[in-house]
Structure 1
Amino acid sequence: MTAATAQRAADLDEGAKRRAFAVSIAVAVLTILDLSKVNVALPSIDRALGAGPTELQIIVAGYALAFGLALVPGGRLGDVLSRRTMFLVGLTVFTVFSLLCALAPSAGLLLAARFLQGIGAGLQMPQVLGIAQELYQGESRARAFGAYGASVGVGTALGPTIGGALILLGGEQDGWRAIFWMNVPLGALLLVLAMRVLPREPKRDHRESLDPLGVGLLGTTVVAFMLPFVLTTGQPGDSPWRWLFLLAAAALLAAFVAWERRYRESGRTPAVDVQLFRRRSYRNGILVATAWFAAGPATFLLNTLFLQEGLGLAPVFAGMVTIPFAIASAASSYTAGRLVSRYGRALVVVGLVVALVGFAATLTAAVLSPPAWAPWLMAAALLIAGAGGGSVVSPNQTLTLSEVPVAKGGVAASVGQVGQRVGTAIGVAGASAVFFSLLNADLGGARLADYHLAVLGGGGLAFLILLAALGFALADLVARRRDPDPAVAR
């Protein structure tokens, strides 16, 4: 943290800090909601615009792809220029293109607006954690990350419920548009509030390079890596040539790392300091978060499709199944934010074990219970999963950034967010591809037994990804016990 930044944070009274942080969190939740609330609208969009499996998948995963693409440039610009300015720019872009999503007359225009909406979300999200790092230190920062984790968990889990309620209010044909209309007045209101409460920053040294080549290389790496998964639908038309993008991603990543090292050796500040990945807390935290965000949103998407199309539930009722997850996640996340300094990575390990039990029970309830009981039993299982999930996100965020200098907080947080969005895109694409391939029919033309097989296959893949998250967390816990980090002993 620079002396000017530290002094500015010290000069703010506690009320001003809370107001700034509250607005930041509200905007983060608004953009995170769009990762999950659109899931419940997919059948309606299918019927209204004639979108097929490919278009439906890109509506979900394309937002995550654009989100991930914009995170590092957004974080870098916030660190070098102004976090407040980039926050306002990102929120404006998100709000404008939410309006265009609501007005889209065709699937193609909806996809384009959805992608640009994701760009806006990616520009502002790194500023949220960067601002939190500036405003709070020590235990206060852990509590702030706990509040952030709780808010994100609630937003992700309540998304389908909110989306279903809006479809109910707007009608079966055009109710999906209300999901995007919701963002417009809320985005405008939050924009006004942000301009009033976000603290202005001291003038920065603009001689520091933005490293445009490094930013560009990382952005193209992210796109090349995510694209084949976004284009995977499980349908016969999927081209096997799409996997060549992974080779391009590997080559681009090698070029990016080489350039960043050379850039650093020249005495300039790179877009991403690759030395950060030598910090075990940072590296392992990103791996855990990436796997968690690959499994969670994919599971919510499959549950929504199964409940709506397999069991015939109305969107609002299908969405309400996730409410127990949201409540349990919020409670445990807030508590975990206060306990992480005492228990460290062990808290994350316990949370993942409990979440695995809950998600396994959710799959079992979906496949084996009578249709009339399935939604209730799935909701009960998601209560268990939420109790565990709340002990994953916020403690992991605290541990990941525990040794990162605040001056690099924006870009460090944005790289972590890139991992989350990459995970979301891959998890959603992979699980939905398995789902649609096993369904082997249009959404409305399959039998219940087909849906059982499809949700078991897609949900099984998400479960395996969550097991990988547990493996990363256990490996980190063992390493910390053998060689404790100075910042977080456990």
Structure 2
Amino acid sequence: MLGAFGLFSVLLGAALPLVDFFIVNVALPDMGRDLGASEAMLELVVAGYGVAYAVLLVLGGRLGDLFGRRRLFLWGMAAFGVTSLLCGLAPGAGTLVVARVAQGAAAALMLPQVLATIQATTSGPRRARAMSLYGATAGLSMVAGQILGGVLVTADVAGLGWRTVFLVNVPVVVVGLLSAGRALPETRSTAPAPVDGAGTGLLAMSLVTLLLPLTEGRAAGWPLWTWLLLGVFPFALAGFVAVERFKETRGGVPLVPPSLLRLPSMRHGLPLLLPFCVGFGGFMFVVAIALQEGLRLSPVAAGVALAPMAVAFFAGALAGPRLVRRWGGRVVTTGALVQGLGLTVLAVTVFRGWPDLDVWRLAPGMVLGGFGQSLQLPVLLRSILADVPAERAGVGGGVMSTTQQTFMSLGVATLGTLFLSLTPRLGTGGAFGTALLVQLGLVVVMAAASLRLPRRLD
């Protein structure tokens, strides 16, 4: 069974990769000035981590099933600490990009073991509570990453500037390794399958050919290679689907078993991650730029502007389990409606008050948005894995995490590109407001689609 310290260890491991995905947003301007990096190179600092992370998550889950989840968790966390140190000491932009790719790969080894361990070592109310805490940790980590990044960059500890956003991981990793080494039980699949080399390669090709050109295209001026990669994407994806189906019909164990995706909880829940994560990932990227470049807020002030969202998310996540017992999947629908109201308030505030805005005028929309998100993400993550058996926990967690990370990266690429493209014509305020309206449209889709979730979530 997973005890309190073991749960603390895996939740810390879940927080680190998500915090690091967002923590660099507020540090990018300082990185560019210090390293003399172009905008395209800075976007690679973000994209290199996100793509490596998304590509290897399912493989990380399979390796945990095969070699032991505790072992892979410890290896992944140790590697995350080492690569964070390399990022913090990087002498140039190219070295930083390479270290960030390695850091994303380390995160992909660590994160799937979190969900797999919870699935394999808990049941009933203990699992529901652990999954609610996991969802709350995931959401808070995304917001807290940018707040922490702003504080660290402004504090300029020992004159290290932006480097502290990576170096801060090292002592946290040491604490996590000590805790996990003592308290985390070892689990593995009772019938582990070998690694699906063809499936892994085709999945990697699919994600790289989609995410890399979308993330880098605008900054690079949409050169020919971006269009060539996007042209390869549908063929790589079709090849991946065909290979996985063929392997399972022949009695093999593919990287992503089609039968796993046919489970009701996966079939109904995974598509809902698209509107939620695209909107969330894009919003966090856009708000960091809009507040610093548009309102000229310091990194700390930009982080403080997000604090009401974090507090509201925490409060909603605590209430979530009780609401789910009574209302089931309708909690997600209600959360989407509340978030939509928050986005509407925020958009009206931006359109009417820009650029004479401060943290207090932004707070009502932030509070409603954060509370609405807290009613969606923890419940959604819990419902997606509800039907996944313990022996497939690693691959199930990997599939869900890959979907979540891919859609967040897609949100940064699409909403970020829209915002940056509209800024010269509409100004920062107009572009920010338009991006909020686009996200509002995604929330409406989320609310409608969530009606398919079951009323009862056991």
Q: Give the TM-score normalised by structure 1.
A: 0.88
Amino acid at match of 1:120: A
- 2:207 match: 222
Q: 1:323 maps to what in 2?
A: 307
In structure 1, list runs of 5 or more residues that go unmatched.
1-8, 10-15, 442-448, 482-486
Q: Does 1:402 align with 2:386?
A: yes
Contact 2:71 2:186 in 1 (8 A): no
Q: Any idea what SS the aligned residue of 2:3 has?
A: helix
Identity over aligned pairs, percent: 33
What is the DSSP-based 3-state SS (H/G/I as helix, E as strand, rest coil) of the residue aligned with 1:318? Answer: helix
For 2:181 and 2:371, the matched residues in 1 are separated by 36
TM-score relative to the length of structure 2:
0.93
Inter-CA distance 140–433: structure 2 relative to 1 (3 Å threshold): same
Whole-Å Cα distance in 2 between the matches of residues 462 and 56 of structure 1?
A: 25
For the residues of structure 2 that align with 1:205 and 1:278, how far apart are their CA atoms?
20
Cα distance in structure 2, aligned partners of 1:400 and 1:66: 23
Query: Residue 21 of structure 2 aligns with which residue?
Result: 35
TM-fit CA distance, 1:204:
5.5
- How far apart are 1:420 and its partner, in Å? 0.9
- 2:445 paired residue number: 468
2:238 to 254, 279, 290: 254
- 8 Å CA contact retained: 2:26, 2:288: yes
Contact 2:189 2:391 in 1 (8 A): no
1:139 counterpart letter in structure 2: P
Matched positions, count: 458
| In 2, Cα distance between equivalents of 1:334 and 1:473 | 21
Kept after mapping to 2: 8 A contact 1:32/1:152: yes
Counterpart Cα distance in 1 of 2:289 and 2:139: 20
SS across alignment from 2:91: coil
Q: Which amino acid aligns with 1:263?
A: K
Corresponding residue number in structure 1 for 2:52: 66
* Alignment counterpart, residue 192 of structure 1, candidates 178, 190, 193: 178
Aligned to 2:432: 455
C-alpha separation between the residues in 1 aligned to 2:224 and 2:321?
44
The residue number in structure 1 matching 2:98 is 112
Quote the residue 1:438 is aligned against.
422
Give the SS at the match of 2:375.
Answer: helix
Question: For the residues of structure 1 that align with 2:272 and 2:230, how far apart are their CA atoms?
Answer: 22
Please state whether the residue corresponding to 1:321 is helix, strand or coil.
helix
- Per-residue CA shift, 1:294-324, capped at 9, x if unaligned? 1112212211211111111110111111111
Query: What residue in structure 2 maps to residue 147 of structure 1?
Result: 133
CA displacement 1:358-404 (0-9 Å, x = unmatched): 12322332332154434322222111111110011111111111111
- Tell me the residue number matched to 1:77: 63
* Pairs within 5 Å for 1:84-483: 84-170=70-156, 174-201=160-187, 208-233=193-218, 235=219, 237-239=221-223, 242-369=226-353, 371-440=355-424, 450-474=427-451, 476-477=452-453, 480=454
What corresponds to 1:20 in structure 2? 6
**CA apart distance, 1:171:** 6.6
Aligned to 1:12: none
SS in 2 for 1:332: helix
Q: Which amino acid aligns with 1:225?
A: L
Inter-partner Cα distance in structure 2 for 1:416 and 1:221: 16
Tell me, yes or no, if the aligned pair for 1:225 and 1:246 is still in contact at 8 Å.
yes
Counterparts in 2 of 1:204 and 1:488: CA distance versus 1, 3 Å: closer
| Change over 3 Å in CA distance of 1:203–1:119 after alignment to 2 | closer
5+ long unaligned stretches in structure 2? none
Distance in structure 1 (CA, Å) of the matches to 2:40 and 2:347: 25
